[in-house]
């Protein structure tokens, strides 16, 4: 089976996921994972699917020719690489321009590649400002590395809180 990573964007409307899943199924594909969301009236998604090699070209062609969707397809690695222990980190702070860059640069400077990041901004109850929140999934090899990650992130700002969840 061939692994594909597919990004999709288009004006949000009912039925997009059904449309994509029908195409995957039609080409004997298996939908392994996805992250799908509506952002500012646009549907945005990333899919991880596997498909028989003989179906890959037809599937790619059909997906790329959806009139209402912008689709990009990348071939993934055939075998899963061994995974390090993954740690979930939640970062919360007053929202400000550049906070995503500050957090990701700090992790990059530590040599850490993000496995996943999900961010959002909400109104702060009681005072009307905005609160930024990021949920990160990062590989972590040791307790010492985890301490270094937490200390590095907390040093970014006085109002930044870091919560770490381990399995």
pLDDT at 27 over 80: yes
CA angle 27, 31, 33 (to 5 degrees): 155
pLDDT, one tens digit per residue, over 78-93 is: 655 556 789 999 999 9
Of residues 82, 102, 81, the one with CA closest to residue 91: 102
Please give the Cα distance from 53 to 56 (Å, whole number): 5
Q: Is the dihedral of CA 65, 69, 74, 77 positive or negative?
A: negative
Average pLDDT over residues 143-147: 91
83-94 core/surface letters (b: 16 or more CB in 10 A; e: else):
eeeebebebebe
Please give the Cα distance from 69 to 46 (Å, whole number): 13
State the pLDDT at residue 159. 87
| Under 8 Å between Cβ of 2 and 75 | yes
Task: Report DSSP state, residue 165.
Answer: E
State the pLDDT at residue 83. 63
- Identify each DSSP E strand in the chain by its residue range: 2-11, 30-39, 42-51, 70-75, 86-94, 116-123, 130-139, 161-165
Average pLDDT over residues 148-161: 91
Enter the pTM of the model.
0.77
Average pLDDT over residues 110-136: 89
Structural domains in the chain, sorted by start: 2-75 (3.30.70.260), 86-165 (3.30.70.260)
């Amino acid at each position: 089976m061939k692994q594909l990573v597919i990004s999709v964007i288009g004006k949000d409307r009912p039925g997009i996921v059904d449309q994509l899943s029908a195409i995957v199924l039609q080409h004997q594909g298996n939908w392994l994972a996805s992250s799908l969301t509506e952002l500012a009236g646009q549907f945005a998604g990333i899919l991880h699917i596997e498909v028989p090699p003989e179906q890959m070209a037809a599937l790619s062609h059909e997906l790329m020719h959806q009139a209402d969707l912008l689709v990009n397809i990348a071939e993934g690695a055939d075998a899963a690489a061994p995974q390090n222990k993954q740690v979930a980190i939640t970062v919360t702070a007053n929202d400000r321009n550049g906070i995503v860059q500050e957090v990701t640069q700090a992790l990059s400077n530590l040599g850490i590649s993000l496995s996943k990041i999900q961010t959002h901004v909400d109104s702060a109850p009681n005072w009307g400002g905005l609160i930024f929140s990021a949920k990160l999934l990062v590989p972590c090899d040791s307790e010492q590395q985890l301490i270094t990650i937490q200390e590095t992130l907390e040093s970014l700002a006085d109002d930044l809180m870091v919560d770490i969840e381990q399995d």
